[in-house]
Amino acid sequence: MITKANPFGIEAALKQLGIEALNEGTSTGVNNFANGKIIESYSPADGALIAKVKTSTQEDYEKAMQKASEAFLEWRLIPAPRRGEIVRQMGDELRKFKEPLGKLVSYEMGKSLQEGYGEVQEMIDICDFAVGLSRQLYGLTMHSERPMHRMYEQYHPIGTVGIISAFNFPVAVWSWNAMIAWVCGDVVIWKPSSKVPLCGIACQNIIKTVLQRNNVPEGVSCLVTGNESGDLINKDVRIPLVSFTGSTRIGRHVSKTVAERFGNTILELGGNNAIIVSEHADISMVLVGAVFGAVGTAGQRCTSTRRLIIHESVYDKTLSVLKNAYSQLKIGNPLDENNHVGPLIDKGAVQEYLTAIEKAKQEGAKIIVEGGVVEGTGFESGCYVRPCIIEAENHFEIVQTETFAPILYVMKYKAIQEAIAMQNGVPQGLSSSIFTNNMREMELFLSHSGSDCGIANVNIGTSGAEIGGAFGGEKETGGGRESGSDAWKAYMRRQTNTINYGTQLPLAQGIKFDL
């Protein structure tokens, strides 16, 4: 139900993804649990109403959970390599739909088309990773202190995994969790952001073919919509693990709610990421890392670069290069690949951006590159803003706060220890970076007395993680880990087993208990 003409083929993409039937508030595909009120999805790119989606009622949610619980009993018995094979087929299906799904991500969320394609590629990559993982769900063996005893650990599926994802990565973060959970033998119930519901429905439509072809029981992949479903997931004792991506404020509520019922959480919350620019840095490399980190996805990544901590000897040179680069940024429709910066998600985000700039001025900051709302033809949605650069102090209240917008705070340092202290001197702890060709600075930054973030990079920006490494952060970022490495262990329960194959029953610790 697109109300304005769009020259970038979005109508055809929606049709390929099975979205065209949604314009009357109906639902399609695997989204069988939606009979509630209607929410409308508007594109921040042009302000057009894309489609209407019915949300899930509490009764719908119960039906979904019943299906999931039943499906788990069957899914967990399928050998892990076979589950991996089904996930591999999902990756192949995503390859077929990379272009239309990437366009939908770009159009509904507002990120550039290249970033939309990149997000779908992340989904494909995590499928490939999960396939290999399905044959590597390793336990450990250990020596027992008792004769003729064997000890080992093994991992079992935990059941239903609840996934509550954010608008800024409407499909990739779901896949990070879902693909890993599936090869581990779990089933999934997903509540996508109400700002981008069509992306969730499109993903379900894409994988539906694979699930049906392999006779996978209904309920292995469930989709519920609407904000009410999020709290139902948080409170549900049938869900041992909730993976939540979003703000620190909401994350506190999720953490408390799930912990009260002794559930586990994977929390991916706020970031306030900094790049340290050393006097030994290659400024041309800094330029790429800092500009993409600050303005990519219009500053709406949890790993977006918020702060640039620059050595005083290269401060003026770095700012000069940055100002020149910012003057060349093209702002406009994200589906036009000539543009660098798309819109913010909605007008509420625009207001937060404007408020942050005003707060910075009130605290004594200096505007280096002016911000503001972009108006005129092509910007009718009211969601386009200019990336800005602000000279500030690290202790400013607004600098200590994450603003989901293209605002870059710059500040000086004299010694590397001071820079690391500034980098660490915020409540969040997700991603960090240093640009330097000095080996001692590199190693100090990566040492136990260096960055306190979950991600620490050298001569790479803060934004743009690969799926092979565990993704997540510390402090108010939540401490969770998703995607690669051994993050799979969060989706399984560990069990220690001891087998006595002898004819006697000795007790541990040499305890005597004679009868």
Give SS3 for 82: helix
Task: Reply yes or no on whether 388 is catalytic.
Answer: no
Q: Which residues in 55-158 belong to E strands, given as ranges?
A: 141-143, 149-157
Tell me the three state secondary structure of residue 294.
Answer: helix
By the 8 A CB rule, do 173 and 267 touch? Answer: no
What the block records as the tokens of 170 is: 């409407």
Beta pairing partners, 455: 431
The answer to whether the CB of 88 falls within 8 A of the CB of 127 is yes
Number of other residues whose CB lies within 10 A of the CB of residue 514: 3
Where do we find the tokens 């994988």? 207
Within 134-247, residue ranges assigned H as helices are 172-183, 197-213, 227-235
DSSP strand pairing (428-429 vs 455-458): unpaired
Give the HSE-up count for residue 195: Cα atoms under 13 Å, Cβ half-sphere: 21
Measured between its terminal Cα atoms, the distance across the chain in Å is: 80
**3-class secondary structure, 299:** helix
Query: Residue 92, SS3?
Result: helix
How many CA atoms lie less than 13 Å away from 48 in the CB half-sphere? 18
Measure the CA–CA gap between 123 and 105, rounded to whole angstroms.
Answer: 13
Q: What is the dihedral of CA 491, 252, 69, 52, to 10 degrees?
A: -110
Quick check: is 184 catalytic?
no
Q: Amino acid identity of 160? A: T
Residue type, 451: S
Residue 215 burial (C-beta neighbours within 10 Å; 0-12, 13-18, 19+):
exposed
Residues 6+ apart with CB under 8 A from 28: 18, 19, 21, 22, 201, 205
Point out the catalytic residue in the list 115, 119, 268, 402: 268
Task: Say if CB 142 and CB 151 are below 8 A apart.
Answer: yes
Q: What are phi and psi of 152, to 5 degrees?
A: -160, 165
DSSP 108-131: HH---HHHHHHHHHHHHHHHHHHH
Task: Yes or no: say if 82 and 56 are a contact pair by the CB < 8 Å rule.
Answer: no
3-state secondary structure of 266: strand
Q: Which of 127, 184, 302, 388 is catalytic?
A: 302
Residue 289 is encoded by which pair of tokens?
């890392």
DSSP secondary structure, 459-499, as one string: SS-SS---TTSEE--EETT-S--EESTTGGGGGEEEEEEEE
Separation CA 450–CA 173 (nearest Å): 28
Question: Which residues form the catalytic set?
Answer: 268, 302
